[in-house]
Each structure stands twice: as C-alpha cells, then as structure tokens.
Structure 1
Amino acid sequence: MPRDLRIDACRGFALVMILIDHIAGNALGHYTMWNYGFCDAADLFVFLSGYSVWLAYGRTIEKHGPDGGWRRGLNKISRRWVTIYIYQLLTVFSGVLIARLWIHFFNAPKDFIEPILTDSWRWVRSFLIFRTLPEKFNILPLYSVLLALSPIIIGLYRVKPLLLIMVSAGFWIGANFFPSFNLHNNLNPAGWFFNPFGWQFIFTLGMLTSVVALKRNGSLKSIRSMKIVASLFLLFAFFQNFPWAEWHLPTLTLFTNLPLNEKTPLAPWRVVDTLCIMYLILSSERAKTFARSVIVKPLILLGQNSLEVFCAGTVATIIAGVFMTRFGTSFDHQIVSNIIVFAAAFSAAWLKSGAKLKGYRGTRHQCAELSGEA
C-alpha cells in the first residue's frame, strides 16, 4: 500500500506547532493549535506516533507469524528505542552546553532554561533514568515509555481488542481522577508533565485507528453524520478556547472553568478533540489529494524525519531563547529566532532525507521498510 502522506503532513504540522510554542515570547504562538481547541500539537503528535507504531511494528508482527514476527518486531522496537534515547541525550546535553556557555561568557539570566541545569551536574544521573525531566525536553521521554509499552499494547490487541481498550482506558481514567498516579519528576512535585498513564490512551487509540484504516486502504469510512458531529464539536472547542480578550473581541466562551480539561493526565476533552480532527482528515479523499500537492511538501519533509527535526529544532529553540534573552523580544528579533529554529529543523530533515535515500536505494522490500518507519 502506498505511503499515506496525510500522516506525514499532519506530523510535520504538529512539529511546526511544537517548535513555535517552544520559542519563549514568540508572537506566532498566538496562532498555534492550543488557541483554537482543547488539544494542541502534542496530542496530535502522540496520536500519530501510535498510528505509526502499528505501521512500523504491528504489521511486522502480524506478517511473520507468532515466533518470527515477534522476534523481528521486538528487534525493530528495541533498535528504535535506543536511537530515541541517544537523540534525547544529545538534545539535552547540547541545549545545556549552549545555555552554560552563554551564561558564562555573557552573564545572562537563566529565564530560558531550568536553573538546575546550569547550576551543577547533579541532575545528570537522575536524568538518565528519566527522574529529572526539564520542561523543554519532556516529550521524547514520554515517547520512549510509550514505545517500550508498544509490545504490550500490540500483544493485548492480538489477544482481544476490547481487552486492550478496557486496560488502556482504565489507566487513563485513573490518571485523570488520581493526580498522584504519575511518574516521579525531581523538577515537578506533581510528576511528569505528560503523565504516561494518561497519554498512553491517545497513543493506543492512534494504533487502533491505524488498524482500522489499513483495512480500507489507509482511510477511515466517510460517514456524513459522524463528520457533522465532529465538525460541531470542533466548533464548540473553538468558541470555548479562543483567546477572545487577547484579540479585543467580545468573549463568546460557552462555559467557565470547564472540568476535566487538564493537559497532564490527558483530559477527555482533549481526546475527543484529537479524534475529531483525525477522523475528518483520515476519512477525506480531498485531504489525501491535498497531501500530494506541492504546497504540503515542506510539512511532509518534516514529518518523515520527525525525530531529527524535533531534536534539532529543540536545540535551536535554546539558541533562540538565549538570543532573545540577550537582545529582547522585538518583532525583528522574533523573526530572527524563528528563522534560526526552522533553518535547523529543515536542515536536519534535508540531511536525514538524503541519508535515507542513499541508504535505501535498492530493493523494493527496503523501500517498504523505510515507508513504514515510525
């Protein structure tokens, strides 16, 4: 089956939103997803990660039988996990080194990074086992945990899909109603900002969506009534979350203090918002056609090299942070900061894409493996 470019485009879009939001004081942050609905780019990215896990590993396990399939699948998952862990280390240590050099030579304030990272190296050992998670570096640890759990998730699905949904939903409900049900983080008494017990649910739903879509050549069934319901919910989410006051407009928020809307445990509103967005995209043939257009190619390039793009972009946001801390957050400086970040992101994508093409020239099987990479 040909690669579904909608997934790559959505992942690239999510990366753009994440990097914009990671630049402190960035005016473009007023236009990112969290301003217009319950979910944001992180929700979308984790859903798409679950979707890709089935493409990359679940199909391998199913295709090669109970013994050989699991051996191949676990081998691919373990290699990918090690790669992500190494990238996480390189990203954090690069960011901390940049921050320390800037503070040392320019006596700059530490507003753009946690002070503990620049005061000593005591955090290193606990960081290596994910017990110290700085704010800008907490997404890859979440994905590392979810990827490590993916064999269990795939195994439960193969035993009985309903069992998987019940177990996954049970942990998610626990995370939402019991805040202490979280992993420890030395930098936050409440635990991990992205609680894995909650966020595994959207990851699992992404994987199950992939299973269903593959049965229909990569698309979900287009049902008019479901599209109307999804569109109405997204309209409700827009009115509920749009920053009316910041745009000097009359407030049209429907409910104040809406319960169960927290990000850390992955609140129900965020789950529904994400599912509505992805259903409208994955059930649309127009979206599939649009994803093949020239205008979307930059997003596809980012989405197909998401790990390298995220890490290079994150380090670049540290550079942008020290730049604006030193010179201010004027409009010109924000332009320079965004150029720095997206130049790094696209450079990483271009370099990795070239390496992939060079390394995978050859058999049709190798190209198929490349197209399914998570």
Structure 2
Amino acid sequence: MQAHTDKANTPHSAPQPTSVVQAHGADGGAGAASSSPATAAPARSRRDHRIDALRGAALLMMFIDHIPQNLLNRFTMRNVGFADAAEVFVLLAGYASWLAYGRGFTKYGVLPTLQRLFKRCVQLYIGQTIMVMAYVFTVRGWRHFTPVSVDYLEPELAHGLGWIWRVMMFDALPSNLNIMPLYLVLLTGFPIFYLLMRIHRSLALLLSGALWMLVNMDPELNFPNWLDPDGWYFNPLAWQFLFALGLTASAETQRRGRDFARVPALVALCCVYLLFSALQAFPWTLWGLPDLRPFGDALAPAKSWLSPLRLFDVMAIFYLVQSSERARHWAAHTWAGQELARVGRHSLEVFVVSTILDLYARLIFSTFGEGWALQVAVNVVGLAILVGLASWLDRRRNNAARRPAGGGAAVPNGAKG
C-alpha cells in the first residue's frame, strides 16, 4: 500500500535507450523521461504503464479483500494462487523505488536524494497516523449508536489512551493497519541496499535472500509487536527480500536498456506453476465443488514470513506481465489499463482512503446486514471513490506540471518520492 514533482532546475539525465521504462515514483508516480537527441529516430513512449496498472489492480483488490463480509473478495487473486495483492504491492514498491531514488544518487547527488527519501517516509508516517486515528475515533463514535465488536480494533486499543505511544512507535501494530509500517521500514533501508549494490550489484540481493531463508527456517526472528506475541504479521526480515527483488529487477532493466526477454521455456514454467497454485489455492468447497487440491490441507504457505510458494507465485506473475508486449499495450492503450494506472500512480492516497473505507464497509455490514443491495452499494461506491480520487489527483498533478515556474519554464514531471 504516494507524490511530488521535481523542481524546474533539476538537471536532465543523459539520453537512454528508448526501451527503458520511464521512472515511476515510489508511490507509482512517473518521472520525466530524458529527451532524445535531435538526430535520433522517433521512438515510442518510454512510459511503461504496466507497473502502474499492476499496482492499481493490487490496491483495488486490497480494498475488496480487507472487507471479510464482502462477497466480491471471492473473485480476487488470492482465490486463484498462493500470493495475493500484498505481495504484488510490495514487489512493485521495490521496482518503483529504484526508479524514483536509485538513479537519483548519481543524477541529483546524495543529499538531495536522501532528502526526498526522508520526505517520502514522513508522508508514509503521516498516512499511517491518519488511518490509526480514523479507526479509533470512528469505532468509538459508532459505539454510541450500536454495539461494535472489539475485532474492529485490537482489544487493548479499544479502551483508554495508553496505547498511543506504542502505535506511533510501531511497537503495536493493529491487524488491519500493518502494511504501511512494513513499507516504511523497507523504504528506510533503501540506502543500505543501494550501498551494497555499489559494491557489487549482486551482493545486496544475495544477502537479502540469505536473510529471507534464515527467517523461513526460524520464523521467530521478527520485529516485536505489543499486540501479538508472534511479532509483526508482515515480518520485515522476510518481506525485505520481495522488495529487494523488485529493486534489482528495476535496476537490471535500466542497466540493460530493455525489458525482460520472453523465453518460451520460462513462460511455460511460470504458467505450469501458476496452474498448480490455482488448483491448490482455489476455495473449492466454498463454491460447493469437489475439492481438487493436489495436497489438500497439507500445503498452506505462510504469508507472515513469505513462504517460498508465495514468493514463486508473485514472481511468476511479474515475469509474465513484464515480458509481455501485449500487457504493455493493454496498460497503455485500453480504458481499463489507464484507469488502473491512474490508481497505481497515486497509491499512498488511494491506500489511505481505501483502508478507511474498509472500516466503514465492515461497520455497515455488521450494523445493517450483508444483503445484496448493500453488497452492490458498498462495492460500487467504494471503488468509484477510489478511481475518482486517482483521476482527480492525476488531473491536479498534470495541471501543476503545466503551470510556468520562476522564469516561465514549465515544471517537468519529476520522479516522485
């Protein structure tokens, strides 16, 4: 589960191959592509909307999945594979973070890039604070009119004010508000990953993978959580590897100047694995069908420490999409692709609003029932608000980019931080 433009006097980058994707901000925003030399042949747009569209789809599915009573969550990706929208979100956050900050150290200098990174972390912290406060005051206010289960907040947080410092220090993570702290921790660790990559471009990924393997062998290695003796639900020591894979994939794509090669054997392997994942993860009994899971209940890959089966699932999806020209065309030239891309470009704002809408949807269902009329109303209104918010933010950003700055030069769309 984000956005600013660079100033007009930001130095231009050197020309790059036309197949390199245009920079996406850590929140899904885009950076200005470098201008090609005047003598260069006309090139297609460098903008690769697939990252934006994938993250937009993940955000909308997270909104749907976080409402347990929502019948629409039977149709999201968690029903047809081991991984779900959270894995997609974290992987793409890593991919976009490299484009927003990785080359910034060389282009703009260390201090300006660290300042942008720090500013982004502050924005994430503010977003988390808004969600926590909205949850607390909404639940406490709703209780004046009808009983509300403490499940909507952790029992310790449902009463009194002694919890505030724990939540603000991430010592206590409520179960519905735990992915933003993960993202903030991962983004804070970005400079360390970058330094390791400067030593050797494979060193950071190797160390990250070793730590992930260690946590999978001993899941008790985790950050403490006052509300849960098992620690953070999204174990940062494990999930950092997925973020690191996104960073590395982005860096390699930029270095090579082209997309991932479409290797038929690898495509077939990914498809076979995803078919197995779908058979094993599909809720057959929920639909009144015979249970066709090859391993039944014996295979339940853990989400908290990012089981290898979940990791392979999301990486297979990522490779199939990022190596596909059809996916590129769909994201760039269809109405659905562009709407999802808008949502993905403003992921912080969309995620904060969607998390608050999730709470209201759950309260509405628990108070007034889960009939079809409310199901339709909650989903249509909620999704419309999120898509409309993204569209409004997109227009506002584009209008700001067109306004003259200083001496009259238009402000370019910089890589968002």
TM-score, normalised via structure 1 length: 0.93
Q: What is aligned with 1:44?
A: 88
**2:166 matched to 1:123?**
no
Q: Aligned equivalents of 1:336 and 1:73: distance in 2?
A: 44
Rate the CA distance shift 1:47–1:258 in 2: closer, same or farther, 3 A.
farther
Q: How does 1:95-174 map to 2 (within 5 A)?
A: 95-174=135-214
Query: How many residues align structurally?
Result: 368
Give 1 or 2 for the bigger CA radius of gyration.
2
Query: In structure 1, what is the equivalent of residue 378 of structure 2?
Result: 337
Alpha-carbon shift at residue 365 of structure 1 (Å): 8.8
Contact 2:401 / 2:410 at 8 angstroms: preserved in 1? no
TM-superposition CA deviations, 1:7-41 (whole Å, max 9, x none)? 00000000011000111210111111111111100
- Partner residue of 1:195 out of 229, 232, 235: 235
Q: How does 1:292-303 map to 2 (within 5 A)?
A: 292=332, 293-303=334-344
On the 8 A contact 2:205/2:248 being kept in 1, the answer is: no
The 1-side partners of 2:258 and 2:299 are apart by 35
**Residues 118, 218 of structure 1: alpha-carbon distance in 2 compared, 3 angstrom cutoff:** farther
TM superposition shift of 1:141: 0.3
* Contact residue 117 and residue 123 of structure 1 kept, 8 A: yes
The RMSD of aligned alpha carbons is 1.8
Write the distance in 2 (CA, Å) between the matches of 1:19 and 1:43. 14
Paired residue type of 1:59: R
Q: 35-44 or 251-260, which moves further after superposition?
A: 251-260
SS in 2 for 1:79: helix
Q: CA deviation at 1:107?
A: 3.5
TM-superposed CA distance for 1:202, in Å, is 0.4
Cα gap change, 1:220 to 1:368, in 2 (>3 Å) = farther
Unaligned runs of 5+ in 1: none
Question: Distance in 2 between the 1:131 and 1:152 partners?
Answer: 23
Query: 8 Å contact 1:15–1:310 — kept in the other structure?
Result: yes
Give, in angstroms, the shift of residue 343 of structure 1: 3.5
CA distance in 2, matches of 1:344, 1:133: 27
Which deviations, in whole Å up to 9, do the C-alpha atoms of 1:143-201 show, x marking residues without a partner?
Answer: 00000001111111111122112210121112111122000111111000000000000
Structure 1, residues 249-291: CA drift from partner, whole Å, max 9, x if none?
2222112345671000011111111111000000011110010
TM-score computed with the length of structure 2 as normaliser: 0.84
The 2-side partners of 1:108 and 1:266 are apart by 32
Matched with 1:359 is 400
1:351 CA displacement: 3.4
Which of 62, 79, 83 is the aligned partner of 1:35?
79
Q: For 1:231-242, what aligned pairs fall within 5 Å after superposition?
A: 231-242=271-282
Amino acid at match of 2:360: I
For 2:180 and 2:382, the matched residues in 1 are separated by: 18
| 1:4 partner amino acid | D
Counterpart position of 2:360? 319
What is the alpha-carbon distance in structure 1 between the residues aligned to residue 98 and residue 81 of structure 2?
27
> Is it true that 1:60 corresponds to 2:101 in the alignment?
no
Check if 1:73 corresponds to 2:113. yes
> After TM superposition, which residue ranges in structure 1, 4 or more long, deviate above 4 angstroms?
257-260, 362-366
Distance, in Å, in 1 between the alignment partners of 2:363 and 2:155 is 14
Identify the residue that residue 262 of structure 1 maps to in structure 2.
Answer: 302
Gaps of 5+ in 2: 1-21, 23-45
- Taking a change above 3 Å as real, the CA distance of residues 226 and 327 of structure 1, as seen in their structure-2 partners, is same
